[in-house]
């Protein structure tokens, strides 16, 4: 029999639903903007689309699954594991998309003349496919055996059934050793540090070029590198927000693993979870305020499909209503 939802759970669910309602439409708008605007068709924006797809999936899939886990249904072990793994896949996909964006920005300022011949649409598509394949492998590793099943079997009574019916919770099925040693220390922290170094080098190269005023593929080097500096700052902000959103939860995981006796307040865990999910809603806001091409595309979509359509419908209703008078 399902237990009633507490007031705290109701508040948690409400916040999660609110995040999803912002994240899903916002990131669909990003994908839509890239699709309809020719100026947003280069490799960087393809990687941004890959990031937006992951963010849509967080709002449409991960948040509903997180709500289910929070309620804590009784389920079989591997069914619970399947509910817990999507967030791991999508987190890794976001990190690799951010890494691809950072490398792309580096190549734009390092080899501006040869950039278009090196970063072709085909190569960008292959890179995106590789990112998603790696993300699937990393995120599904618990399904391949690195989970808490053997630990639970050791504590199971000898005459118990082979099938585990458990209260489905993330930490019940996902091994904290996997989360810290493999997920964080291998697939989260090193890419974040690498991206930090890449952006530092990108800013260093841009400033050198702006100071020297060297020639590039553009007729106006100052304008070219000035524009690159603006976009690099915006994308570095996206990276900073991602790190700010995800590191607290990983730090809490490290505390759980290395200090089992340490008690972390539940409210801190919930805040960390809200930050990770809320990160999916942040990127469209950053694009809208910081990248002019996106802002223009968003306004174009609004005027073409929403604002003017509403005005036309209102006009049409008024016109059809007149003969009846």
Structure tokens at 219: 């007729």
Beta bridge partners of 246: none
Asked if the model's pLDDT at residue 57 lies above 80, the reply is: yes
Q: pLDDT tier at 161 (50, 70, 90 boundaries)?
A: low
CATH code for the domain defined by 7-305: 1.20.1070.10
For the segment 159-165, the average pLDDT, to the nearest whole number, is 61
Q: What is the pLDDT of residues 260-303, one digit of tens each?
A: 999 889 899 999 999 999 999 999 999 989 998 899 999 999 88
| CB 180, CB 254: distance < 8 Å | yes
Asked if the model's pLDDT at residue 93 lies above 60, the reply is: yes
Alpha carbon distances (Å) from 226 to 203, 209, 213: 11, 10, 11
Q: What is the pLDDT of residues 97-153, one digit of tens each?
A: 999 999 999 999 999 999 999 999 899 999 999 999 999 999 999 999 999 998 888
Structure tokens at 138: 């990393």
**Distance in angstroms (rounded) separating the CA atoms of residues 229 and 256:** 40
Q: What is the pLDDT of residues 194-231, one digit of tens each?
A: 999 999 999 999 998 888 755 444 456 778 888 899 99
Alpha carbon distances (Å) from 129 to 100, 136, 293: 12, 11, 25
Angle at 278 between CA 84 and CA 10, to 5 degrees: 70
For the segment 67-71, the average pLDDT, to the nearest whole number, is 91
pLDDT at 325: 38
Of 38-42, 45-49, 104-108, 199-203, which gets the smallest average pLDDT?
38-42
Q: Which of 14, 30, 23 is nearest to 282 (CA)?
A: 23
Question: Which residue is it, tokens 């974040």?
Answer: 192
């Amino acid at each position: 029999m399902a237990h009633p939802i507490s007031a705290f759970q109701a508040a948690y669910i409400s916040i999660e639903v609110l995040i999803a309602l912002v994240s899903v439409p916002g990131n669909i708008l990003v994908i839509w903007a890239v699709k309809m605007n020719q100026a947003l068709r280069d490799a960087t924006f393809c990687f941004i689309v890959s990031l937006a797809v992951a963010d849509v999936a967080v709002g449409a899939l991960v948040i509903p699954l997180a709500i289910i886990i929070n309620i804590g249904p009784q389920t079989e072990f591997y069914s619970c594991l399947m509910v817990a793994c999507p967030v791991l896949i999508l987190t890794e996909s976001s990190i690799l998309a951010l890494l691809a964006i950072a490398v792309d920005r580096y190549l734009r300022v390092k080899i501006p003349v040869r950039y278009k011949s090196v970063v072709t649409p085909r190569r960008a598509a292959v890179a995106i496919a590789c990112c998603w394949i790696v993300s699937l492998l990393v995120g599904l590793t618990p399904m391949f055996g690195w989970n808490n099943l053997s630990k639970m079997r050791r504590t199971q009574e000898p005459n118990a059934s082979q099938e585990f019916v458990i209260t489905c919770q993330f930490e019940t099925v996902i091994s904290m050793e996997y989360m810290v040693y493999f997920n964080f220390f291998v697939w989260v922290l090193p890419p974040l540090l690498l991206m930090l170094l890449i952006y530092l080098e990108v800013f260093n190269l841009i400033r050198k070029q702006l100071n020297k005023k060297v020639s590039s593929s553009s007729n106006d080097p100052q304008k070219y590198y000035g524009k690159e500096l603006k976009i690099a700052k915006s994308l570095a902000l996206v990276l900073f927000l991602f790190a700010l959103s995800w590191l607290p939860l990983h730090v809490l995981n490290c505390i759980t693993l290395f200090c089992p006796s340490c008690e972390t307040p539940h409210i801190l865990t919930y805040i960390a979870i809200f930050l990770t999910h809320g990160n999916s809603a942040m990127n469209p806001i950053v694009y809208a305020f910081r990248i002019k091409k996106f802002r223009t595309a968003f306004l174009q979509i609004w005027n073409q499909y929403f604002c003017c359509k509403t005005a036309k419908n209102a006009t049409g209703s008024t016109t059809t209503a007149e003969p009846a008078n």
